[in-house]
Structure formats: structure tokens, C-alpha cells
Amino acid sequence: MNLADTLDPARIALVDHPVAAREDVLRLVAGLLCTPSLGPGLEPETVCEALLQRERVASTAVGDGVAFPHVKLDGLPAARTAVAVLRGAGADLGALDGRPTRIVVALIVPPDSVGGHLLLLGVLSRKLRDPAVRAALLDAPDAATVIGLIGELHVVSP
């Protein structure tokens, strides 16, 4: 799975206004994930509810201001990724380090996805441990820059 194959500039948001609540962040990325439309049964509300249910199991905020909301969805034809860069104070997504989340990389995959998305999340997590990469994302002037920073990541599916 190649991250660039799941990304689209239309699914990247550089957010300058405050977004503090978990539900608002997940609603934002759900809307991005559904751009362009995924079709009937996969509207932003449905995707948001699936992400919220996943978050109720355990927070996907990994610390250092980064979160990886992810879920498998019935009827999804292919994996999709959305990125929201919250340039303000960030949002409390329940990270263990207590820091607000400012970089959200959301991933939805079909139910038959066999671990490739988890490997991709691991690669993303390692990439975003680098403070310089996080700073560059927060300063990114446009979606193309975001894709340039993380879009080259790929994994070989198991």
C-alpha cells in the first residue's frame, strides 16, 4: 500500500480556525475522506460515526500532537487517507502525553484489508516522530507540500 495512492489534495485541510472538540475533528476528517463522494451509505455522517466508535474503544492520538483515526468500512471500494493540520491550539483527542493533537492523519479501508493499513500506520507513526517533519507539516503552505512530506511512504502488504 502506497500512501500517495490513498491521498488526494482535496482530502487535505490546513485549518487556521480553532477546532477543539474530538467530534469536530472527526467530523472534519470524515468530510475530507468523503471527497469526492463515496456514494450511498458512505456519507460523512456514517464515516464520522464509525470513527467515533473506534475512538470509544481507544484513542488514536499517539502523542506529540499526532493522531491516526482509522477504521474499516463495509462498501468502501479502496483505501482513502485524509490529513488535517490544525494550526491553532489543537484538539484534546485523549493522547497519553496529554498534549493537544494538531496533526490528524485519518485512514479508512475496506473490510477485507489485510494488515497493509496497519503497516502504513506504523510507517507514518515513525515518520511523524521526527519533530522536523511535524514542524514542516504545521508550516505547510498547501496540500502539495503535505503530500510531498508524507506521500512517498509505502509498505509491502503482507
- The residue annotated as part of the active site, out of 17, 70, 117, 154, is 70
Which of 83, 89, 69 has the alpha carbon at shortest distance from 143? 83
How far is 46 from 43, CA to CA, in rounded Å? 5
Question: Which grid coordinates are listed for 97?
Answer: 502525553
Neighbours of 32 (CB within 10 A): 22
- DSSP sequence for 116-132: HHHHHHHHHHHHHTSHH
| Helix, strand, or coil (residue 78) | coil
User: Cβ neighbours of residue 24 under 8 Å, at least 6 residues apart?
Assistant: 91
Confirm whether 154 is a catalytic residue.
no
Question: What is the end-to-end Cα distance of the chain in Å, rounded?
Answer: 10
Q: Is the peptide bond before 36 cis (omega within 30 degrees of 0)?
A: yes
Active site residues: 70
